[in-house]
Amino acid sequence: MAAPLGPVKFWRPGTEGPGVSISEERQSVTENSGTTIVYNPYAALSIEQQRQKLPVFKLRNHILYLIENYQTVVIVGETGCGKSTQIPQYLAEAGWTAEGRVVGVTQPRRVAAVAVAGRVAEERGAVLGHEVGYCIRFDDCTDPLATRIKIQKKRGDLRLIVASATLDAEEEVETVVSMLIEQARALARTGMKKHLRVLPMYAGLPSFEQMKVFERVSRSVRKVIVATNVAETSITISGIVYVIDCGFVKLRAYNPRTAIECLVVVPVSQASANQRAGRGGRSRSGKCYRLYTEEAFDKLPQSTVPEMQRSNLAPVILQLKALGIDNVLRFHFMSPPPAQSMVQALELLYALGGLDKDCRLTEPLGMRIAEFPLNPMFAKMLLESGNFGCSQEILSIAAMMQIQNVFVTPSNQKSQAIRVHRKFAVEEGDHLTMLNVYEAFIKHNKNSQWCQEHFLNYKGLVRAATVREQLKKLLVKFQVPKKSSEGDPDPVLRCIVSGFFANAARFHSTGAYRTIRDDHELHIHPASVLYAEKPPRWVIYNEVIQTSKYYMRDVTAIESSWLLELAPHFYQQGTHLSLKAKRAKVQDL
């Protein structure tokens, strides 16, 4: 979000800027993000009067004084007090956007960025995308002539404001939503006047779907929001009275020892539990029902481990390198990550060809990988697709891998859905199965009725088509040849291996799979088309989730010879970072 004075150019390190949205053509606000309708008890008042009713307004002058005198300011306030929407405007009103300067606001969630930008634009009487805009993955709603982003190592006029209410699972959501809707319909058949409006809220949901949770409902309707922890912070949904806290959260965690990143379900922290409780009772008295005992609450950790300390750092390091921060080992992270995670990330980027032996960003490959708003392995796969003569197929596969829950399996039609889904399955694995689904969707003109008949996620497939078009623009920009394998699976599979060679596993006599380099035990996920088939000897996978076991998702069978052919630098002894080099890098910390 930004509000500078006068036209300036949009800064891009290298060319387009690392990992920003790749959309060059704006989509209309109504089409892409919807209109944000938020229940507002002060709706009858003017915009200025509404702003003055917020708790943060009383501290406006004090906040501006602190920002003027200190480079870093930490602000802690209750959810909904106006931190996100008002402080940027206070800064603009106080002259911090003069002479082409910018007020930039970062949010951990897409829905929060869109909602905050929409509200600020409304309060300032601005058109969203001009004076005030937002930029999220695959959706850029900024004006290059009215907003800019830049970074300098040393700037006396740069200010950092950290604001928080506390300073310290998508598939399940959709399942619960479906169950509640069915129960609501059953209640309606009994003649009950009041009914439910059940809405999902999770990160993978399209922006216009996420915005529905803000819409006001009539008095005869009770709104029920089934959410992941995306609703725990960042956004304020007025009118919520009751909160039900299950006490668990699904987190992405990276183990540098095994080099495996997986999704794990863990108990929430006390800080998160308090955040969840704070979602209700903002407009009137509310209650939070915790599905665990007070004793269990007392045993919860005080706070959640920062994401920087439990994530695969390859994308982060790539972004820092592209921004000109070469010595990432000495970069001042707010939550310093483990040294071993840093080394693993550097090694992966080196193996992908994004870094040279001196750990500098390579040109043009490294700079190009950095421009994709995707995992570096996906970016490498896309950039190599022209060389394998299958860029059309790889574009579709990469786009399909960005959406969740392609197959819909209603509880009352499970056997029928599974039977229909098998029509798309191929023996090579999940990647080509997803390709079949996408090509059939396009062949049937993106028809929603066809998706319903074949138990497919229509909204997800529409999203995949949009993502594919935007990724296509990058391939055109980088002059990647437009080629098709014409039905030959081998070039497609080899191209996938060129990007995902680090995620390879071999079948073991114990009946499980073992990772090639670390000998870690993995299993094929039951949702994979390969689960019920004869286990392939060698596979690559997209990600790992942890429940009772470590399960590979998005699995494809490969030939072992492809690993040595396409990634000899990663699997042949002595060609990856040596133990001595690893120790030297750790000692540099």
The CA angle 39-42-48, to the nearest 5 degrees, is 120
Taking each helix axis from N to C end, the angle separating 489-500 and 430-443, rounded to the nearest 10 degrees, works out to 120
Q: Which residues pair with 72 in a beta bridge?
A: 160
For 473-520, list the strands marked E by DSSP: 504-507, 513-515
Sort residue 403 into left (φ over 0), alpha (ψ -120 to 50) or beta.
Answer: beta
Q: Supply the Cα-derived Rg of the chain in whole angstroms.
A: 25
Does residue 540 contact residue 552 with C-beta atoms inside 8 Å? no
- What's residue 194's pLDDT? 61
User: Considering only CA atoms, which of 346, 257, 249 is closest in space to residue 307?
Assistant: 249
Query: Three-state SS for 583?
Result: helix
Cβ contacts of residue 426 below 8 Å, gap of 6+? 432, 433, 436, 489, 529
Q: Determine phi and psi for 224, rounding to 5 degrees.
A: -120, 125
- What's residue 497's pLDDT? 96
- What's residue 506's pLDDT? 94
Torsion angle, alpha carbons of 571, 574, 577, 582, to 10: 120
Q: Kindly report the CATH class assigned to 29-164.
A: alpha beta
Judged on CB neighbours under 10 Å (0-12, 13-18, 19+), 190 is: exposed
* Residues carrying CATH 3.40.50.300, the chain: 29-164, 170-308
The CA angle 319-567-492, to the nearest 5 degrees, is 90
C-alpha span between 452 and 438 (Å, rounded): 14
pLDDT mean by block of 10 residues, the chain; 589 residues: 34 37 33 39 68 82 84 74 81 79 74 75 76 67 50 55 52 63 63 67 70 80 80 69 87 76 83 84 78 91 86 88 84 85 89 90 92 92 95 96 85 86 93 96 94 91 92 94 92 96 92 87 92 91 84 93 88 50 39
Answer yes or no: CATH 3.40.50.300 is held by domain 170-308: yes
Taking each helix axis from N to C end, the angle separating 458-477 and 376-384, rounded to the nearest 10 degrees, works out to 60
C-alpha span between 355 and 205 (Å, rounded): 34
User: Considering only CA atoms, which of 332, 111, 314 is closest in space to residue 211?
Assistant: 111
